[in-house]
Amino acid sequence: MKREETYLSLADRIRSLKEKGRFSEAEEEIEKELKKNPDQPFLKMSLADLYLRQDRLAQARIMVEEVLAQDPQHPQALTVLGDLFLRQNSPKEALECFRQALAREPRDYLVLKSARALKEMKRFAEALEELEKVLVVKPKSFPFLKEKGLLLCKMKRFDQGLEVFERAKELSPQDPFVQKQILLLRSRTRPRDQVLKEFQRVVSMDSKKDDPQMHGLLAQKLKDAGQVREAAAEYRVASSLDPRNLFFLKQEGFCHNRDKNYEEALRCLGEALRRDPADYVVRNTLEKIYSTRGEMKKFLHLLEEILREHPEQKPILGTVRRIRKKMEKEGNEE
């Protein structure tokens, strides 16, 4: 009983440190306990989750496999493995993990993760059915309402999506993501210039100037209007306010690319690929830029560095082999 209370107390401390972004302190706490109890699954899964939050995917996978070797149906390990698969753009495998975990331990958050995996597979109707399983019992579940709103927008059912986000706002009026989605959906039928001016006004307000979601939304509208240089600047502000949100960093890089500011595009997209090596769109864009600049050796060096950190990334290995083969052929022809 005493040990169980210790782990509950530890779990609270670790959760608090993670939420505050104090990852090194959380890691120290976990590793200290692991020295005392090296085979404790809870500790290993806490560490795996921490690695995942820091994009240390290979280390997270090692922790997961150690636990699954002892218990192949361990729900936490299966959940983290599913999260890893999602990060690696493998939603089918992620869904299988979440469903196995759900069979062992029926929890709402596993239903939510299953719905997200189905969404990534573009099986929208099935994803909606998953969400409704919980919403029919808990109609005020905020995370499920947010996910339903996003899903309805993916299905082009924008009016219904707006209605759901407005219900979510009633539950959490200050949630920046929900506020952003409502503004975005309400602006769909209004003139572009009018919408752009409105968003610029909102972002300049004291209450919104430090809101990364609002800066990201303004950046999106600027990009849609063809003002890619201005959009890149707004995405940079959003990224500085929320450094863990890779979407902003990637979009800044894409804007720089469209503006032919290749140095900045390489900086942004190179960092993004290091942190999310499964993103093939970022990888392909980088390859085009390096090829345009005649710097494929630099691209190869970048991929090899990433591969050393993420040896599980088979697509990167395939790209490395293809580029090496091509460079060898060109060298022989010379």
Which tokens go with 176? 């920046």
Choose the weakest-confidence range: 3-7, 278-282, 297-301: 3-7
Under CATH, what is the fold of the domain 190-247? 1.25.40
CA–CA dist 328, 322 (Å, integer): 10
Would you say residue 58 has pLDDT above 50?
Answer: yes
CA–CA dist 51, 23 (Å, integer): 9
CA–CA dist 166, 156 (Å, integer): 17
What superfamily does domain 107-189 belong to in CATH? Tetratricopeptide repeat domain (1.25.40.10)
Residues in the chain: 334
CA–CA dist 216, 200 (Å, integer): 11
Q: For position 4, what pLDDT does the model report?
A: 45
pTM for the complete prediction? 0.76
Q: For position 254, what pLDDT does the model report?
A: 98
Q: For position 180, what pLDDT does the model report?
A: 86
Choose the weakest-confidence range: 47-61, 108-122, 296-310: 47-61
* Two domains, one topology: 107-189 and 260-334: yes
Q: List the domain boundaries for the chain.
A: 1-89, 107-189, 190-247, 260-334
Q: pLDDT per residue over 237-273, tens digit each?
A: 999 999 989 999 999 999 999 999 999 999 999 999 9
In degrees, rounded to 5, the angle at the alpha carbon of residue 124 between the alpha carbons of residues 118 and 126 is 70
Would you say residue 117 has pLDDT above 50?
Answer: yes
Which CATH number applies to 260-334: 3.40.50, 3.30.420, 1.25.40, 1.20.120?
Answer: 1.25.40
Identify the band that residue 44 occupies on the pLDDT scale cut at 50, 70 and 90: very high
Determine the average pLDDT of the residues in 305-330.
Answer: 88
Under CATH, what is the fold of the domain 1-89? 1.25.40
